[in-house]
A = this chain, B = another copy of it.
Amino acid sequence: MPVTIHDVAKEAGVSTSTVSKVLNHWTTISSDTTARVNAAIIKLNYTPNARAVSFARKSTRNIVYLTSLGKDEAYRNPHMFDIMCGVHKELTKHGYTLTLVDTSDEAFPGESVHNVIDGKYSDGLIIHGSAVTKDLSKLITEQDYPHIIIGHPGFESNLCWIDPNHALAGQFAARHMLLCEYSSVAFIGGKKTDYISTQRLKGFVGGMYDYGYYIPASHIGYTDSSITESYEAAYSMLTDRRPPRAIVCENNTIALGVVKAIENLSLKIPDEIALLLFDVYPYSNIIFPKPTVIDINVYDMGIQAGDIMLRKLKNPSLFVQSYTTLPILIQGQSTQPLRKQ
């Protein structure tokens, strides 16, 4: 038979209320009693029944992480799981648990959310941006349910969200290029309709402009993010009569195409052409020489999401909509070493 609070109370010669108070660190208990109760707890190896606690307390100390969990999602979108790990880390630190809910295979995703909320499975909801629909938004807002969205939803709303600052990452790229004294820099990105690519480009162009450099249209490439198109974009820029001195690649696949073009033209990195990438993942580690990369610490973004969730639980009126996660620069050998730090 599992040991209960009654067993502990009997062992310590006190009431169950007193044991409960010791367990919850009430300050009104004498140190003598506290000691006796703790001794009994250790002697009996007592662990409170989490179900009973959560039931009596009317709070679960559990948060639900809502996202798409289909087959191959882990390969397609590992960042999402890295964020999840960050969230988990922060919640665990404060005694909360994390439960997963999938949105990938139901007709109406609101159904499971409705269950989570009305079934009181959790105290709050952390939702990956890709899983947010307008229906969901309405449901959460109406119920005024504690939540935080990771990655801002594609529409205006009163939801709370955080998001990495991709434009700022673009500015970082510009700044680094100028520190390396490259003024003629090209940018090869994804489609014009791609949100992240557009933000990075915007930040980059703006950043260069702030220092007095203007990027001509011929030095901006839009691709479908395939190796083939990126190769072609880079090849044509590099064989132009005024080739760029450096290329910023908006993602890893683009970088592969660009590197291939550079190899085929037998150019030396970084002496003849410099390279800067966004994201470490998934190919930066198979590019030689080791590339200089601007990365986003999404694990840290998960930690922030967890932290905000916890703060919201204490203060339900807390409202957050912000670009919160800063990019970091990882210096490699694909750009000139800086004169001094």
Is there an interface contact between B75 and A282, defined as CB atoms closer than 8 Å? Answer: yes
Is there an interface contact between A78 and B74, defined as CB atoms closer than 8 Å? Answer: yes
A74 contacts which of B79, B98, B280 (Cβ < 8 Å)?
Answer: B79
- A327 adjacent to chain B (CB < 8 Å): no
Which A240-295 residues sit within 8 Å CB-CB of chain B? 253, 256, 280-283, 286
Is there an interface contact between B102 and A99, defined as CB atoms closer than 8 Å? Answer: no
Measured between alpha carbons, how far is A120 from B52 in the docked complex, in Å?
Answer: 9
Copies in the complex: 2
- A97 adjacent to chain B (CB < 8 Å): yes
A256 proximity list for chain B (CB < 8 A): 286
A281 proximity list for chain B (CB < 8 A): 75
- A212 adjacent to chain B (CB < 8 Å): no
Chain B residue at smallest Cβ distance from A86: B71
- A216 adjacent to chain B (CB < 8 Å): no
- Taking the closest CB of chain B, its distance from the CB of A34, in whole angstroms, is 21
- A81 adjacent to chain B (CB < 8 Å): yes
Is there an interface contact between B119 and A49, defined as CB atoms closer than 8 Å? Answer: yes
A120 contacts which of B49, B84, B86 (Cβ < 8 Å)?
Answer: B49
Is there an interface contact between A119 and B50, defined as CB atoms closer than 8 Å? Answer: yes
Q: Contacts A71-B82, A74-B78, A75-B82 given; indicate if A55 touches B51 (C-beta within 8 A).
A: yes
A62 proximity list for chain B (CB < 8 A): 99
- A115 adjacent to chain B (CB < 8 Å): yes
Measured between alpha carbons, how far is A65 from B48 in the docked complex, in Å?
Answer: 21
- A181 adjacent to chain B (CB < 8 Å): no
Q: Write out, one digit per residue, whether chain A residues 63-98 have a CB within 8 A of any chain B CB (1) or not (0).
A: 000000111111100111110111011001000011
- A54 adjacent to chain B (CB < 8 Å): yes
Measured between alpha carbons, how far is A88 from B62 in the docked complex, in Å?
Answer: 17
A45 proximity list for chain B (CB < 8 A): 118
- List 5 interface pairs A-B (beta carbons < 8 Å), by A numbering: A49-B120, A51-B51, A72-B299, A85-B102, A92-B101
17 more A-B contacts (CB under 8 A) besides A50-B120, A74-B82? A47-B114, A47-B115, A47-B119, A51-B55, A51-B60, A55-B55, A71-B86, A72-B82, A74-B74, A74-B84, A74-B85, A75-B282, A78-B78, A78-B81, A92-B101, A97-B99, A283-B283
